Amino acid sequence: MKNHFLIGLFVCLFISCSRNEELTNNGEYYALIKMSGSIAGSETTGEDMEWQETICLYSNNTFTKIRFTEDEKIEAFGSYSKKIIESEEFVELVYDIDNSLIANYTGNLIEHLIVLDDYSLQGTWSYCDGPVLEYSKAILCGTI
């Protein structure tokens, strides 16, 4: 069952990330690789995570965020920019509309992801009791 779920996930990723042909080869693709909570030993990875999630950052400064559970696929769209806040680099996602995918602690349409290095992002939802979400750069959107 899990293998069928993963195959479906990758097919959906390909279709979703390549929704705009002009953007397909002009973006960065990040996949959620780990989530953990404030309780020791609460770390999950891969298939064991509650959901799978991807973020495609396109060269025209728009993004697509997609979450897959066993029952549904949720998408969100918006624009992004890179910011320096108190000497730390962030990717700031600004969503087009309110969406359950907005992982923040402020209740607005903005989500911040810390740039850990050239290949890794970490969400800031954990600043207010949300899970720590870690993303890793994978391949260009649409080339799965």
User: How is the chain split into domains, by residue range?
Assistant: 2-137
Q: Between vectors from CA 100 to CA 10 and to CA 50, what angle results, nearest 5°?
A: 50
Note the pTM of the prediction, 2 decimals: 0.78
Q: CA angle, 11 as apex, 73 and 72 as ends, to 5°?
A: 15
**Phi, psi (deg, nearest 5) at residue 92:** -105, 120
Q: What pLDDT does 44 receive?
A: 93
- Rounded to whole angstroms, the Cα distance separating 20 from 27 reads 11
Which CATH class for the 2-137 domain?
Answer: mainly beta
Residues 117, 121: Cα–Cα separation, whole Å: 7
- CA-wise closest residue to 29 among 139, 121, 142, 143: 139
Tens-level pLDDT at each residue, the chain (144 residues): 454 444 444 444 444 444 444 444 578 999 999 999 877 778 999 999 999 999 999 999 999 999 999 999 999 999 999 999 899 999 999 999 999 999 987 779 999 999 999 999 999 988 777 789 999 998 655 443
Q: What pLDDT shows up at residue 139?
A: 66
